[in-house]
Structure 1
Amino acid sequence: MIILDTERLSLREFTPLDAPFLLELLNEPGWLRNISTPGVHCRDDALAWAEARLFKAYRELGHGFWAIERHEDGELVGMCGLFKRPTLPEPDLGYALLARHERRGYALEAARGCVVHARQVMGWKTLMAITALDNQPSVSLLGKLGFVEEGQKQLEGYNEPSRVFRLAL
């Protein structure tokens, strides 16, 4: 199901058919360095991860992290979306791209679409985001979207503190 379209991209719900893509994304060096080490080593692991982290959120929350698909060829380039973590007071924006698709503006374009969706469709007044302490590209992207850094917080499930950002919608 397509959630939103931007100039070059569609954001849609992931499906079980996307397991090979998720296996690749979850094992990207950038994911492992800046997000987590999910222990996903095969297609079945990717499906289990998707059920717990993606499909469950779609069913229970009506939103989550969505597949970023290019209009031109339908290729998946990453994920971006809105998620309500129990450790943050407001929903947050998250994104990740395959390294070969970075530096093309896809993350910013998808994130802008999600910010508009949060405000216009979800009716939210505030959106948060988190990054690894040394993830300067994400800090820069969040700044372009108008997020303001609030400090650092140790979040459950992370080994190191995260930088925490907020955006009034």
Structure 2
Amino acid sequence: MIITETERLILRRFTAEDKHAVFQLNSIPEILTYIPGEPMSSVDQAETILKDLVFPGYEKFGFGRWAVEHKADNKVIGFCGPTFVQEFNEVELGYRYLPEYWGTGIGFEAANAALSVIPSFDINHVIALILLGNRGSEALARKVGMTERGRDSFMGHKVNVFEKQL
């Protein structure tokens, strides 16, 4: 199901066929520098994430992390979208991309597109939980109009919390 499109991107729900892309986004050490947890070691782990976390989120809330598909090659190059974070009782806008797309404006384009449709899911406020030191994610949060709310901890790590009213 397509959520929204931009000139270069399609934001859509993940499907079971995206398991290899999910594995890639969770197994490349360079991507995971500021992500809690260990890199995935098998595609089965990606299938489990989809089956146990992503798809149930779509069912329960009507939204969740969305696949970011590049129109030029129909390849899933990352994710961007909202997810409910139980520990904060808030909706987080999260994003992650393959390194070859860093610095190309893809993150800004996808985040702006996501933020433009998130209110249609009855969400009027989002946060971003960014591990300390992740200057790229902080810059993107600021670029899409999020402001720093303060520090907290999440999954045992210190994070900067950004927020935006929609």
Shorter-chain TM-score above 0.5: yes
Q: Which residue of 1 aligns with 2:103?
A: 103
Q: Secondary structure at the match of 1:84?
A: strand
Supply the AA of the counterpart residue of 2:142: G
Q: Post-superposition shift, 1:86?
A: 0.5
Bigger mean CA deviation after superposition, 109-118 or 28-37: 28-37
TM-score by length of 2: 0.94
Supply the AA of the counterpart residue of 1:110: A
Counterparts in 2 of 1:137-156, with a 5 A limit? Answer: 137-155=136-154
Q: Post-superposition shift, 1:38?
A: 4.8
How many Å separate the matches in 1 of 2:122 and 2:60? 18
CA deviation vs aligned residue, 1:93-116 (integer Å, no higher than 9, x gap): 000001112111111111001111
Identical pairs, percent: 30
Q: Secondary structure at the match of 2:90?
A: coil
The answer to whether structure 1 residue 79 and structure 2 residue 76 are counterparts is no
How many Å separate the matches in 2 of 1:15 and 1:136? 31
Q: Which residue of 2 aligns with 1:118?
A: 118
CA deviation vs aligned residue, 1:4-37 (integer Å, no higher than 9, x gap): 1112100111111111111111012244221222
Supply the AA of the counterpart residue of 1:17: E
How many Å separate the matches in 2 of 1:39 and 1:136? 21
Counterparts in 2 of 1:43-54, with a 5 A limit? Answer: 43-54=43-54
How many Å separate the matches in 2 of 1:88 and 1:30? 27
How many Å separate the matches in 2 of 1:5 and 1:59? 22
Q: Which residue of 2 aligns with 1:166?
A: 163
TM-score by length of 1: 0.92
Q: Which residue of 2 aligns with 1:130?
A: 129
Supply the AA of the counterpart residue of 1:102: W
Supply the AA of the counterpart residue of 1:128: I
Give the count of matched residue pairs: 166
Cα pair 2:131 2:159 within 8 Å, conserved: yes
How many Å separate the matches in 2 of 1:4 and 1:92? 18
How many Å separate the matches in 2 of 1:51 and 1:116? 27
Supply the AA of the counterpart residue of 1:60: K
Structure 1 unaligned spans of 5+: none
Supply the AA of the counterpart residue of 1:147: M
How many Å separate the matches in 2 of 1:154 and 1:8? 35
Cα pair 2:129 2:159 within 8 Å, conserved: yes
- Root-mean-square deviation (Å): 1.4
Q: Secondary structure at the match of 1:58?
A: helix
